[in-house]
Amino acid sequence: MATSNGGTDVKSSRTFKLASFYSEVQTSRLNHALPFPSVLRKPFNVDDGPKSSAAGNPDEIAKLFPNLFGQPSASLVPNETGLSGSDQKLKIGVVLSGGQAPGGHNVISGIFDYLQDRVPGSTLYGFKGGPAGIMKGKYVELTSEFVYPYRNQGGFDMICSGRDKIETPDQFKQAQETSKKLDLDGLVVIGGDDSNTNACLLAENFRGSNMKTRVIGCPKTIDGDLKSKEVPTSFGFDTACKIYAEMIGNVMTDARSTGKYYHFVRLMGRAASHITLECALQTHPNVTIIGEEVAAKKQTLKNVTDYITDIICKRAELGYNYGVILIPEGLIDFIPEVQQLIAELNEILAHDVVDEAGAWKNKLRDQSHQLFDFLPEAIQEQLMLERDPHGNVQVAKIETEKMLIQMVEIELEKRKQAGAYKGQFKGQSHFFGYEGRCGLPTNFDSTYCYALGYAAGALLHAGKTGLISSVGNLSAPVEEWTVGGTALTALMDVERRHGKFKPVIKKAMVELEGAPFLKFASMRDEWAIKNRYINPGPIQFHGPASNALNHTLLLELGAQA
């Protein structure tokens, strides 16, 4: 029904809860018809490829996954007869795991529509609150009325997410019990690298226990660090980067308008700097710090500070006392001396009492002690905060942008005293993080996610397990996209933790010889001194820019081609 503010009141009869008073844009997105890979429009079969291996240490991966290792990846190919046994009704579960990313609802919509289109009478269950919903048996049956208000919408609020893992024997047993209770034929795990590692362990456990429940993963993370040749990108990266780029563009216009502020912008991405690099390619800031480059060059915190300060001084000579500086959230983790300091602090906090007089600092090595004293007091306090459940520093709580502002101020004051700097410096700090996780997905993410979900349904229907839904040929028109599944074990390596080998899907870091970084590196010196700012504006759903892919994906696909 129409609302007084011109939006539409969309209601789910199964939840008795208003999905929201939707804006005109949200309503138009609800009914937006998505383009579709042509292979999904017609009858198809699922063909196996060659036997797979692993990303590293295949012998160890084979021991950890005796029932799955070596299985082939799969491709959907046109076939007049379609999948055999297609009249069999299926019971499928779906779970959202980890942090939010734009497009998750469309993955679920794709699974739902596959079952409606290809296996009528099937049932889709949504596990509530992430993997804990599987273990605790908390779920809801998804219907057309339930799913409809979430199509092409941001967020994970249809069933919500969680960061629990299914790891212990008891937890695997709980997952088995829930799967048996619901008589599940399959389960789709929508998540990042850790969640998809967990999905593979679950698939191995189910197969080893002779259960009929099969498990398929879907690649989700705005950080952009879950990708490979077979899985070209994780969903949500495109939308999040475009949201951040709009905000950076606005800040650039503000900087140029006032002529007196340096905006230090910290961007999401704890492990990898893909978001920072992509936003730089979209907006052309004066300074961009890429964590992987800092680590490769073994730069110190002073090196980073001096690099920023040098550019500020050069700009001041040209009459520019303003600028924009991009910093990855995980910068602290990339600086070797800071990593060493954090490791020592972790050890002290785990085993010793931290006295107010500061005697505990004598347990730090000399270099770490000097670095700790060199840091601004606010950052010292943040480094001493409570650790996360894995014993790691909570990087998101360390305000690196404020730390760098203070350190640059100190260095500029020294140079001013020495007569080497005559400009004016005022720093403004920003953290663009959660703003990008739940925005309305771009046309690309909407379409890509729907295809991933539809493919996941097809893979389960074909009896596949231990694969991650894969959609490729993404630089071509949507009709020409390829669809299939990649063996999760093929993406894995091992890490030694607590004396045992643990399987991990290695995070894809920024490659310093990769096309996106090389493009950035070829232009950054010009951006530093000359104001080449670009304001990309808000995400477009219609018109010439509405279907543009992000620079990172385009450059990587071009390099592969």
Report the alpha-carbon distance of residue 101 to residue 81 in Å, rounded. 36
- 8 Å CB contact between 465 and 29: no
Helices (H) and strands (E) in the chain, counts: 19, 18
- 8 Å CB contact between 271 and 223: yes
H or E element that contains 97? strand 91-97
Q: Please report where in the chains the tokens 């090389």 appear, as a residue.
A: 518
- 3-class DSSP assignment, residue 377: helix
- 3-class DSSP assignment, residue 317: helix
- 8 Å CB contact between 337 and 300: yes
Asked if residue 193 belongs to a known ligand binding site, the reply is yes
Asked if residue 297 belongs to a known ligand binding site, the reply is no
Asked if residue 22 belongs to a known ligand binding site, the reply is no
Identified catalytic residue from 113, 157, 185, 223: 223
Phi first, then psi, for residue 428 (nearest 5°) are -120, 130
Report the alpha-carbon distance of residue 125 to residue 472 in Å, rounded. 28
Report the alpha-carbon distance of residue 90 to residue 92 in Å, rounded. 6
Asked if residue 435 belongs to a known ligand binding site, the reply is yes
Asked if residue 253 belongs to a known ligand binding site, the reply is no
Q: How far is CA 275 from the centre of its chain?
A: 9
- 8 Å CB contact between 246 and 481: no
Report the alpha-carbon distance of residue 280 to residue 272 in Å, rounded. 14
Report the alpha-carbon distance of residue 522 to residue 531 in Å, rounded. 16
Asked if residue 221 belongs to a known ligand binding site, the reply is yes
Asked if residue 135 belongs to a known ligand binding site, the reply is no
- 8 Å CB contact between 257 and 507: no
Asked if residue 386 belongs to a known ligand binding site, the reply is no
Q: Calculate Rg over the CA atoms of the chain.
A: 25
DSSP bridge pairs for 191:
219
- 8 Å CB contact between 450 and 110: yes
Q: Where are the alpha helices (DSSP H) in 318-463?
A: 331-334, 336-351, 366-374, 377-383, 400-417, 443-461
Asked if residue 223 belongs to a known ligand binding site, the reply is yes
- 8 Å CB contact between 304 and 404: yes
* Cβ-based neighbours of 109, under 8 Å, separated by 6 or more: 147, 150, 151, 450, 453
- β-pairing verdict for 323-328 and 287-288: parallel
Report the alpha-carbon distance of residue 192 to residue 172 in Å, rounded. 20
Asked if residue 434 belongs to a known ligand binding site, the reply is yes
- 8 Å CB contact between 50 and 496: no
Asked if residue 398 belongs to a known ligand binding site, the reply is no
The yes-or-no answer on residue 225 being catalytic is: no
Nearest CA-CA partner of 26 in 436, 557, 539: 539
Question: Residue ranges for the binding site for diphosphate?
Answer: 99
Question: Residue ranges for the binding site for substrate?
Answer: 221-223, 260-261, 268-270, 329, 434-437
Question: Residue ranges for the binding site for Mg(2+)?
Answer: 193
Residues designated as active site: 223
Question: Residue ranges for the binding site?
Answer: 99, 193, 221-223, 260-261, 268-270, 329, 434-437
